[in-house]
Structure 1
Amino acid sequence: MFLNHALSGSAFLRTPMPLLATVEAENSPAILSGVLLSLVVIYLASKIGEEVSKRLDFPPVLGSLIAGVIVGVSALNLIVFPEGGISADDSNLMTILQWFNHLSPAALTYVFESQSEVISVLAEIGVIILLFEIGLESNLQQLKEVGIQATVVACVGVAVPFAAGTGGLMAIFHVPAIPAIFAGAALTATSIGITSKVLSELGQLKSKEGQIIVGAAVIDDVLGIIVLAVVASLAKTGEIDVFNVVYLILGATAFLLGSILLGGLFNKTFTKIVENLETRGSVIIPAFIFAFFMAFIGNAIHLEAILGAFAAGLVLDETDASNELDELIRPIADILVPIFFVTVGARADLRVLNPAVPENRAGLLIAVFLIVVAILGKIVTGWAVFGQPGINRWAIGVGMIPRGEVGLVFAGIGSASGVLSKPLEVSIIIMVILTTFLAPPFLRVAFGDSGHPPTDEEDVSVKMGESQSAS
C-alpha cells in the first residue's frame, strides 16, 4: 500500500505494529482531506492556467505547467512534496489542514507524506494515460507513409541535440554521465500538436514542408519514447553498462515493434470482446485493461510503463473501435493528465536559478546552454532534407523546435527518479517553456506569415495534433 510506502525512512517504522495501525486509522480522514484539497488546488490552477494560455494563443498545456510553478515550491507552497528537505511545515496546504484537524506534529508529517504519495501515484497514472492517448493519436498508417525524408529529419532531430546536450553538459559543466544523458534525451522531443496547429493556421499543413515536419514529428515521438525508456531505466540502475544500454535499446525497440506486429492478431480479439459486452464501459474498460497490462509488462522487463502504454495506443488505433475510443479517453485524460503537468511545475524550484545568489549562476548558465542547443539542434534538421530544391529549410527546422508535452514527460520522470539535480531539472523545464513559446511566432516568420486560412481537409488533419497539445 502507498501509505506504508510513504512511511519509508520515517520514525513510524520504529512504531509497534498495533500502534501503527491505530495511527493509520486515526489519520485516514485527514489524509483523504489532504488529497481532496490538493486536487481542488491542482484542478483550479490547471483550468485557470489553460484558459489564460489559450486566450494568449499559446498551448493550454503550458498554462498547466506555469500554474503548477505558481502553486508549487517556487511561489505559493500549496502543492509541495517531501523532497530536498521540504517538510510539512513548509506546506501552506498542510497549515490549512492543521487548522481544521488539530494534528500533532508527528501526525501532520505522516499526513503530509501520505497525501504526497497519493498525488504522486495519481500523477504517474496520468502520464501513463497521456502516453496511451498519444499512441492512439499517432496513426501507424501515417508512420508508414511519411517516407524517407521525414525519417532522416527525425533521426537528425534526435541525434544532434542529444549528442550536443549530453556532451556539452559533461565537458563544459562537468555534469555526471547519467543526469547529462537524461537532460540530453529531454532535448530530443518534438511536440507535433503545437507545430501542426500553427501549420494549419498558416495554410501550410499540406505543403511539402508541412508534410515533412508533421511526419518527422510523429517519428520523433516514437524515437523519443524509446530514448526515454532507455534513459529512465539507466536512472534506476544508477550506472552505465554498455551491455545494459544495448539491451535496453534493443529491448525497447523490439518491444515496440513486436507489440505493433502482434497487434494485428489482438485487434480481432479486441473487436470480438467489445461486440459481446453489453454493460457500460464495453469499449473503454477492455482498452484500459490492455493499456495497463502493456504498461505492467514494460515495467516488469525493466523498460518503462509509459512505453507499454504508448505501444498499446498504437495497437488499438488500428481497431474498428479506435474512433469511439478516442472520444472516450479524452474525459479520463482531462481528469488525470492535469495532475501530472501541474505536479511537474510544482516540483520545479525556480529560485535555484536566481542570479542574485552566486551559487545559482552555474544553473542559469546550464539553462541558457540547453535553450541554445534545443533551438540549434532542431534548426539543423532542415538541412538534412535532400533532393528537394527550393524547399524552405528554415521552416522545417523551426517547425521541429517546440518540445511541449513530450518534453514535460522527460522532466517529470527525471524528477520522480531523483536523477536530476534541482538546477538541471528547472533548466529542462525552462527550455521546454521557451521553445514552446518561441516556435509559433518563429514558424510564422519562417513562412512569411502569408499563409491562407486552413481548409476543411487541413482542419481534419490537424485534429490529432490539437488533441495532444490540449491534453
Structure 2
Amino acid sequence: MIDTGEHHAAMLLLMGLVSLLAVPMRAAFARISMPSMIGFIVLGVSLSIGSNITGVASDTLNEQVPFLAKIGIVVLLFRIGLESDLDKLRQQLGRAALIWLPNMVLGATTAFALVMVWPGLGLIPALFTGVAASATSIGVSAGIWEATGALDSDTGALLLDAAELDDVSAVVLLSVLFAVGPLLKQPEGAAILAPALKAGAIQLLLTALFSMNCYLFSRWLEKPLSDGFAKLAPKHGPIVLATGAAFVIAAMAEVMGLSMAIGALFAGLAFSRDPAERSIDEAFGILLTVFGPFFFVAIGLSVDLTVLVEGIGLAAALAGMALLGKLLGAGLPATAMLGWRQGALIGFSMVPRAEIFLLVMLYGLTLGPWAVPQVLYNAAVLASIATCIIGPAIVGMMLRPLAGNTT
C-alpha cells in the first residue's frame, strides 16, 4: 500500500519548490557571473533556520534531503565523467600530468598544514581537509572559458585534461578516506597506523579492480547494450541505459566499500566514448537541474549558525591557502609550459572548490567532531563559496580581453 501521509507530502512539496527555484536561480546567478550553488547553500541554511524556529518539516529535512542529495551527487559526477574526452587526454597525458600532480599535491598540503597548526583542530581534521582540498571544481570556471570562446583553444584543452586527472585522483582519495577514516578514531595512537595503511592499500586495490571492470564494460559491453536499447527505443533507449547504469554502478561501488562518488564518475567515463554521448549529456543536464541542487541544499542544512562567526578567520585562511595551493601547484607548471599569462589563467581556473571538496567535508562532519568539527565545516563552506567567487571573477577579467585569441 502506498503511504500518502504528511511526511511524504512534505518531501514532495520540497522537491517541487526546489525544482521550481532551480532554473530562475541559475539564470539569476549566471547574470552576475556567480555559481548557483551559492544560492542553494543559502537556501539550505534558510530552510534549517525556518525548521528550527517553526518545527515544521524537520523529519523531511533531516531524512529525505540527504537521500535526494545522494541522487544529486551521482548525477553530477556521472555527468563530469561523461563530459570527459579520454582520447584527447591520452594525446597530451604527459603535459596534463605535469600540471595535475603538483596541483593535487600542493592543493592538499597547503590546506593540511594550515589545519594542523590551527588551534583546537589537529591531525585527523587536517587529513580530511587536505584530501578535500586536493580536488578542483573546474566546471565553475569552464563556463567562463566557453562563453569567451577560449575553451576550444590549446590552453583550454590542457586545462580540462588536468582537471579530469584531478577529478579522478580526488575521488580515489575520497574512497581511501572512506575506508581509513573510521579507523582513525581509535585511541591506540601509533598502533592504528598499520591497520590504517592496510585498509588504505586494500581500498586502492579494490578501486583498481573496480576501474578495470568499468573499462571492460566500456570497451566490450556498453556499445552493444546501447545499440540494443536503441533498437528497442530509438529515442530514449540509450538514455535509459545510461541512467540505469549510472545508479547501478554507483550502488556497486558503495556495496564494495568504495564511495558512490567513484562509481558515478567511472560510470560517466565508461559512457563518454559512446557516439550518443551528446543526447545522454542533455538528458543528464535535466536530471542535474532537478536533483543537483539538493546536494548543495544538504550542505547548507548542515551549517550551524551558532558557531558561524567563530569560523570566519579559519574560512579566510582556508580560502587563502586554496588560492595559494592552486596558483603554485597548477599556475607555476603551466607558466613554465605556456608563459605567465596562460599559466595564471590555468592557476586561477583551478582555484574553485565545490562538489568533491564539500562532499569530503560533509562526510567528515557525519563521522563526528573528531573528524571534522562543526567550526571547521562551517569554515570550509564559507571558503568554498569564496573560492567559487574569486577564481572565476579573476578568470573572467583575464579572458575578456583575449576572447577568441587564447592559444
Would you call these one fold, judging by a TM-score over 0.5?
Answer: yes
| Higher alpha-carbon deviation: 368-377 or 410-419 | 410-419
Greater shift after overlay, 370-379 or 318-327?
A: 318-327
Q: Which moved more, 1:202-211 or 1:214-223?
A: 202-211
Partner of 1:77: 50
In structure 1, distance between residues paired with 2:335 and 2:348: 17
Deviation of 1:265 after TM superposition, in Å, equals: 0.9
2:392 to 440, 443, 447: 440
Q: CA RMSD in A?
A: 3.0
In 2: Cα distance, 1:57 partner to 1:114 partner: 32
- What displacement does 1:425 show? 1.1
Structure 2 counterpart of 1:39, which letter? M
SS of 1:442's equivalent in the other structure is: helix
Query: Which residue does 1:372 correspond to in 2?
Result: 320
| 200-209 vs 313-322, greater mean Cα deviation | 200-209
d(CA) in 2 for partners of 1:450, 1:349: 42
Compare CA radii of gyration and give the structure with the larger one.
Answer: 1
- Per the alignment, residue 424 of structure 1 pairs with 376
- What is residue 189 of structure 2 aligned with on the other side? none
Whether the 8 Å contact between 1:274 and 1:283 is mirrored in structure 2 is: yes
Deviations 1:320-372 (A, max 9, x none): 33222112222222221111222212222244132xxxxx2xx3332222111
Whole-angstrom CA distance in 2 between matches of 1:259 and 1:212: 25
CA contact (8 A) 1:77 1:91 kept: yes
Cα separation, 2, equivalents of 1:326 and 1:307: 19
Q: TM-score, normalised by structure 1?
A: 0.75
1:297 aligns to 2:252 (yes or no):
yes
Deviation of 1:58 after TM superposition, in Å, equals: 1.5
Report the equivalent of 1:54. 30
Aligned partners of 2:130, 2:22: CA distance in 1, in Å? Answer: 28
Flag structure 1 segments of 5+ consecutive residues without an equivalent: 1-23, 79-89, 98-111, 355-359, 459-471
Shift in CA distance, 454/429, structure 1 to aligned 2, threshold 3 Å: farther
Deviates more, 1:307-316 or 1:363-372: 363-372
Q: CA contact under 8 A between 1:46 and 1:63: conserved in structure 2?
A: no
Residue in 1 aligned with 2:82? 136
Aligned partner letter, 1:437? I
Task: State the secondary structure of the residue aligned to 1:77.
Answer: helix
User: One-letter code of the match for 1:375?
Assistant: L
The TM-score normalised by the length of structure 2 is 0.86
In the alignment, is the contact (CA less than 8 A) between 2:227 and 2:238 conserved in 1? no
Note the C-alpha offset of 1:311. Answer: 0.8
* 2:349 equivalent to 1:403: no
Corresponding residue for 2:261? 306
Shift of 1:57: 1.7
Residue type of the alignment partner of 1:170: M
Amino acid in structure 2 at the alignment position of 1:410 = V
2:9 corresponds to which residue? 33
Unaligned 5+ residue runs, structure 2?
186-192
Q: What is the SS of the residue equivalent to 1:402?
A: coil
Percent identical across equivalent pairs? 25
Question: 1: CA distance between counterparts of 2:80 and 2:337?
Answer: 30
Q: Secondary structure at the match of 1:173?
A: coil
- Mapped to 2, the partners of 1:288 and 1:206 lie a distance apart of 28
Match of 1:383 in 2: 332
Identify the residue that residue 225 of structure 2 maps to in structure 1.
Answer: 270
For 1:345 and 1:217, the matched residues in 2 are separated by: 26
- Aligned in 2, Cα 1:202/1:322: closer, same or farther, shift over 3 Å? closer
The alpha-carbon distance between structure 1 residues 132 and 226, as it changes in their structure 2 partners (threshold 3 A), is same
Work out whether residues 353 and 364 of structure 1, in 8 Å CA contact, stay in contact via their aligned partners in 2: yes
Kindly indicate whether residue 266 of structure 2 is the aligned counterpart of residue 320 of structure 1. no
The 5 Å alignment of 1:20-419 reads 29-69=5-45, 71-73=46-48, 76-78=49-51, 90=52, 92=54, 94=56, 112-113=58-59, 116-239=62-185, 241-278=196-233, 281-354=236-309, 360=310, 363-380=311-328, 381-385=330-334, 388=337, 390-392=339-341, 393-418=343-368, 419=371
1:13 equivalent in structure 2: none
Quick one: structure 1 residues 215 and 280, their matched pair in 2 at CA, closer, same or farther if it must change by over 3 Å? closer
Q: 1:176 to 1:266 in 2, by over 3 A?
A: farther
Q: CA deviation at 1:122?
A: 1.6
SS of residue in 2 equivalent to 1:72: helix
Shift of 1:174: 4.6
3-state secondary structure, aligned to 1:420: coil
